[in-house]
Amino acid sequence: MHALLENHRMVIETGYVTPTEKAPEPSMGTALIPKERYTSKEYMELEWERMWTRVWNMAGRESDIPNVGDYFTTELGPESFLIVREAEDKVRAFYNVCPHRGNQIRNPGMGHAESFQCAYHFFEFNLDGSKKFVPDEDTFTQGVPQETALVEVPCDTWGGFVWFNMNPDAEPLLEFLGVVADHLAPYHFEEYAIVGDMTIEWDTNWKASVDAFNEVYHVQGIHPQLLESLDDIHVQIDLYERHNRYLVPFGLVSPRYPNQNKVTQPLKQFLAGSGIDPDSFEGGMGDVRPAMQKAVRAAAEAQGMDVSGLNDDQMSDDYHYYLFPNLTFNITALGFGFFRQRPHPTDPNKMFFDLQSYARIPPGADSPPRPVHSQHKHGEISIGLVMDQDSYNLPRVQKGMNSRSYKGLLINYRERRIRHMHTVLDGYLEGPDR
């Protein structure tokens, strides 16, 4: 473990380069994935007991608690957690529950506190979770032991995010992240600011949502407009111990697109977004991507951003990383979109979809004001054309999965990230404790 931590330190200090090598392909079989994994309450409960309570879960952004006493809550399944900066260099995570009568210490949201006082009977706790004050303590004839405190769970930070684990014997966070921590170090996630933050309750199982973003096989069906700006065929897929990725080329048309020479309107928009006037651009379709890459790198370096660890393709493409069990990063050189799928507390046919966007802030520049988090029901708000298409489709997928005619997921080779996720999940549900 010390070697892993030392390696991670050296990665950050020496400017690690995100690897592009193809990972070996594991043997995972071809069997149907049973539909009950998406529809059964019994399976949902098994996931909770054997997986969700034993993995590292992302709680939120470390920049949301910059000062001692700052806190925020996060909800996962039936549980609520209280995340607090207890000291300048120490972040803690607690179950958001008073040990006296079970009242939640804080309502959902964020704020600042010198201590945490339960609003029911005024039990009070220090920022480290220890007991501070119990009203009429002498009336507890059985005594109130000093160890009466908020129940703490393992907590750590990485990439500017706070993580927690309900397993008191959890492996270190860096060990859980594995090679992905090294892969993503060159992006310097700690330099990014959140610029969009919303949650939508979707009428689908959390895994169905993960699946939708873990393959591009559906682009031709659900997102045909994207064929004018990305290659959905030549996509590299890499499967690691727990996590996986695919590398999606942007800035060119799909091999499925009928006109392979046309500079499409979406490609012109990509040019404009990278600082190139599309009206004066003289190249053909094949020249768009290299021109974008050169312009984005030059703009980043001009603003003092360190992109030395990123290759040219990372200037244009989506380096799409999935961190088991429920985190998706759509990463470009100057920003990333972040998806988090959270299970519903009681219904396997529902979930909470956290959608956040981040922008890289040049050195010395002020971060924009943090956006206010908003929460919505399915269909109440547009989340952009592509995401609206997924949002419309997924409830229909869930309904179909509940049909007596449907047996399970038939997965092809281009969808193998889905099978990989289930293989990892099986390791928690059926294999020995990690």
Residues of the chain above pLDDT 70, percent: 95
Residue 24 has pLDDT above 60, yes or no: yes
Average pLDDT of the chain?
A: 92
Q: What phi, psi does 276 have (nearest 5°)?
A: -105, 130
- Domain ranges for the chain, please list them: 24-54+193-429, 56-166
Fold designation for 24-54+193-429: Naphthalene 1,2-dioxygenase Alpha Subunit; Chain A, domain 1 (3.90.380)
Residues 179 and 21: their CA atoms lie apart, in Å, by: 13
The CATH classification of domain 56-166, taken from the options 1.10.3720.10, 2.40.30.10, 2.102.10.10, 3.40.50.300 = 2.102.10.10
What is the reported pLDDT for 74?
98
pLDDT tens for each residue of 177-225: 999 999 999 999 999 999 999 999 999 999 999 999 999 989 989 999 9
The candidate with the shortest Cα–Cα distance to 307, out of 237, 363, 248, is 363
Cβ 353 vs Cβ 199: under 8 Å:
yes
What is the reported pLDDT for 346?
97
- How would you classify the pairing of strands 56-61 and 90-95? unpaired
pLDDT tens for each residue of 110-160: 999 999 999 888 999 999 999 999 888 888 877 766 667 999 999 999 999
Domain 24-54+193-429 shares a fold with domain 56-166? no
Cβ 54 vs Cβ 167: under 8 Å:
yes
Q: What phi, psi does 188 have (nearest 5°)?
A: 55, 60
Name the pTM for this structure: 0.92
Q: What phi, psi does 36 have (nearest 5°)?
A: -60, -25
What is the reported pLDDT for 278?
94
What is the reported pLDDT for 8?
42
Q: What is the distance of C-alpha 263 from the center of its chain?
A: 33
- How would you classify the pairing of strands 124-125 and 327-332? unpaired
What is the reported pLDDT for 10?
39
139: Cα within 13 Å, side-chain hemisphere: 3
pLDDT band at 431; cut points 50, 70, 90: confident
Cβ 82 vs Cβ 71: under 8 Å:
yes
Q: What phi, psi does 49 have (nearest 5°)?
A: -70, -35
What is the reported pLDDT for 432?
62
Residues 307 and 314: their CA atoms lie apart, in Å, by: 9
What is the reported pLDDT for 15?
55
119: Cα within 13 Å, side-chain hemisphere: 5
Tokens standing for 415? Answer: 């969808």
pLDDT tens for each residue of 312-344: 999 999 999 999 999 999 999 899 999 999 999
Those residues whose C-beta lies under 8 Å from the C-beta of residue 32, and which sit 6 or more positions away, are 407, 408, 409, 410
Between the alpha carbon of residue 204 and those of residues 47, 93, 208, 402, the distances in Å are 16, 29, 7, 11
Rounded mean pLDDT, 30-43: 97
